[in-house]
A and B are shown apart, each in its own frame.
Chain A
Amino acid sequence: MNRYLWPLVIFVGVSLLLWRGLSLNPREIPSALIDKPAPTFSLPTLHQPELAISRDTLKGKVWVLNVWASWCVACLHEHPIISQLSGKIDLVGLNYKDTRSEAIKWLEQNGNPYNVSAFDQAGDVGIDYGVYGVPETFVIDQVGKIRYKHIGPVTQEDLDGKLIPAIAEIRDSGSKG
């Protein structure tokens, strides 16, 4: 019995592994930053270069950092979804490797859901946040810890099923540790 059963067992095992591999998204890299303090930054705002915004500007609040750019096609898809958060939570844009004029024009055309956008022309803050694909969305808690990260465009399902529940949970529980 053994002799004939073993190849079958191995075949099923390998099949299961491969099947699982098919359903994994290689672009979804687990963030090293979850539950770590959000990297500090200080950047000029998009609309008023003389004004600076930093991580600690929003200390004590739960807020969302959304990385976007006018050259990013997926950001346009995400835009109406992210805009639903406007007014419900402090929503900060991180305008990533963009030009000021293009970015402002993009917001005028598509609407500006952000309380404020930080202007990261060189992409250095992006590197600090481990950004490798725009758009990316971070939820940061009251003490400045990153509690949730979404890579790629947020869909309606992501918003209703993941992002909003994550925000609610952080608001309820306060900060961990």
Chain B
Amino acid sequence: MPLVSPAKVEIVQFETVEEQALYKKLINELRCLVCQNQNLADSNAELAIDLRRKVKGLITEGSTYDDVVDYMVSRYGDFVMYRPPFNQSTIFLWLSPAVLLVLTFSVVIFRRRSAMDQNVSSNFDQSQHAKVRELLKDTKDQN
């Protein structure tokens, strides 16, 4: 979340509500490349203004969401998208939370199990067992 209030953005009018909604969605999802931690909607950098104008132009010409995204990605790369697409170079990024989760659970389960195993199979050998039995018998007798 931006700490400062969003910059004043020029008012853009479209003929239909759908186009307006598409514009709003796109400028919220596309990154301003100059000020990298802002999207197009938040930024008043020169490039952001130009790119907003471009998005508006493309929508007015009848472009769909995918058309505009393709247009931007083919020029600026995946980086222009705030939500990175799922592909070869981002597979680690997308899968790492799941992998970490599975890994953590397996470690926890594995350790539990080995702890339980240790309780059952003690390291005592036969003669030590006998000794323990003997000792236990003594305590019983005392009672």
Please give, as numbers and ranges, the residues of chain A lying within 8 Å of B69 by CB-CB distance: none
In the assembled complex, how far is the CB of residue B59 from the closest CB belonging to chain A, in whole angstroms? 15
B77 & A31 in contact (Cβ 8 Å cutoff):
yes
Complex alpha-carbon distance, A124 and B120, angstroms: 74
Distance from A151 Cβ to chain B, minimum over Cβ atoms (Å): 10
Q: Which of A123, A124, A130 contacts B76 (CB 8 A)?
A: A130
B99 within 8 Å of A (CB atoms): no
Q: Which residues of B contact A31 (CB under 8 A)?
A: 77
Residue contact A133 to B34, C-beta cutoff 8 Å: yes
Chain B residues bordering chain A, tally (CB within 8 A): 15
Cβ contact within 8 Å between B76 and A128:
no
A side interface size, CB within 8 A: 20
Is chain B's interface secondary structure helix, strand, loop, or mixed overall? helix
Residues of B within 8 A of A9 (CB): none
Closest-CB distance, A67 to chain B (whole angstroms): 12
CB <8 Å contact, B50 and A132 = no
Let me know if A32 and B76 touch, CB within 8 A: yes
| B residues with CB within 8 A of A | 33-34, 36, 46-47, 50-51, 54, 73-79
List, sorted by A's number, 30 A–B pairs whose CB atoms are closer than 8 Å.
A26-B36, A27-B36, A29-B33, A29-B76, A29-B77, A30-B77, A31-B77, A32-B73, A32-B74, A32-B76, A32-B77, A32-B78, A36-B74, A97-B46, A122-B50, A123-B46, A123-B50, A124-B54, A126-B50, A127-B50, A127-B54, A127-B75, A129-B75, A130-B75, A130-B76, A130-B77, A132-B33, A132-B76, A133-B33, A133-B34
